[in-house]
Amino acid sequence: MGEPEPPTDMRGASTDYVQSLGRGLSVIRAFDAEHPRRTLSDVARATDLTRATARRFLLTLVDLGYVRTDGSTFALTPRVLELGYSYLSSLSLPEIAGPHLEALTETVHESSSVSILDGDDVVYVARVPVSRIMTVSITIGTRFPAYATSMGRVLLAGADEAYLDAYFDRADLVDLTGRTAHTESSLRAELDRVREQGFCIVDQELEVGLRSLAAPLHGPDGSVDAAVNISTPAARYSLDDLTSTLLPALLRAAAAIDTDVSRVGSTTPDRGSHHA
């Protein structure tokens, strides 16, 4: 899933906007999981640049080591991860949560993760896997649509009404599995339940065969800054088992992370106005 485009009211509207930088970043964003390799024409079409302009940006990125080419197609190199790692590594939350995730995974023998909300997606910032249970590999930086995930719903449940109104105005709500809540009314009802019970269970709404449950992680001011979850194959635990067996361990881990966060300070930089 690619990065969201910058808001249109920020592009070209300010004398501080550097058009060439914006175009260069759009070239990088043209590559994603569905398009790991692209021709020059592909990139030009995806970015709405001329072939000549796209070629200059691609060859510059090749010179800088962010893109490689075999002469006919282009692909990102691992070095591009540096662009996001500087931000992710500056967070104290992954370091704080890491030992608790390891203990949680060791206790329940299931994968555990921490995510934050970024735009319309959740972004994984910490993870301790036990096995690959999805058709896509989940790593640090992986993004999923917030509305279809347990962590995303926990984070949306912690957002204020103005944020949610804007979110539902713009979000592309799709039934991903035939079981996915994908209407504003059904999702708002689910967010109400999450707020009331303090956790969220998602049953095969992101991917068939996958169940997950999540709990909120709070900043020092009590705002919901992140979420922690356990994910498991649906065949391994019934919904009742999730609540009786996995939920207590998840809530203990969330409380322990919250305690450590309160001692250290803010978990994330100010992410705008999605908090109440």
Give the C-alpha separation, 94 to 102, whole Å.
12
Alpha helices (runs of H) in the chain, residue ranges in sequence order:
19-29, 40-47, 51-64, 81-90, 93-108, 150-157, 161-170, 184-197, 239-241, 247-264
Q: Residue 169: is its pLDDT beyond 50?
A: yes
For 81, the 3-state DSSP assignment is: helix
8-79 classified as CATH 1.10.10.10: yes
Q: Which residues contact 8 (CB under 8 A, 6 or more apart)?
A: none
Domain residues of the chain, as ranges?
8-79, 91-264
- Encode pLDDT of 222-252 as tens digits: 899 999 999 999 999 899 999 999 999 999 9
To the nearest 10 degrees (0 to 180), the angle between helices 184-197 and 150-157 is 80
Q: Are strands 143-145 and 121-128 parallel, antiparallel or unpaired?
A: antiparallel
Q: Residue 13: is its pLDDT beyond 80?
A: no
Which of 3-7, 27-31, 114-118, 166-170 shows the lowest mean pLDDT across its residues? 3-7
Q: What is the pLDDT of residue 270?
A: 41
Give the C-alpha separation, 226 to 116, whole Å.
5
Q: Residue 10: is its pLDDT beyond 50?
A: no
Residues 175-195 as b/e (b if ≥16 CB within 10 A, e otherwise) read ebbeebbbebeebeebbeebe
Q: What is the pLDDT of residue 267?
A: 45
Q: Which CATH superfamily is domain 91-264 in?
A: GAF domain (3.30.450.40)
Give the C-alpha separation, 257 to 235, whole Å.
29
Alpha helices (runs of H) in 91-183, residue ranges in sequence order:
93-108, 150-157, 161-170
For 44, the 3-state DSSP assignment is: helix
- Encode pLDDT of 119-136 as tens digits: 899 999 999 998 765 556
Residues 41-73 as b/e (b if ≥16 CB within 10 A, e otherwise) read ebbbebbebeeebbebbbeebeeeebbeeeeee
Residues 201-219 as b/e (b if ≥16 CB within 10 A, e otherwise) read bbebbbbeebbbbbbbbbb
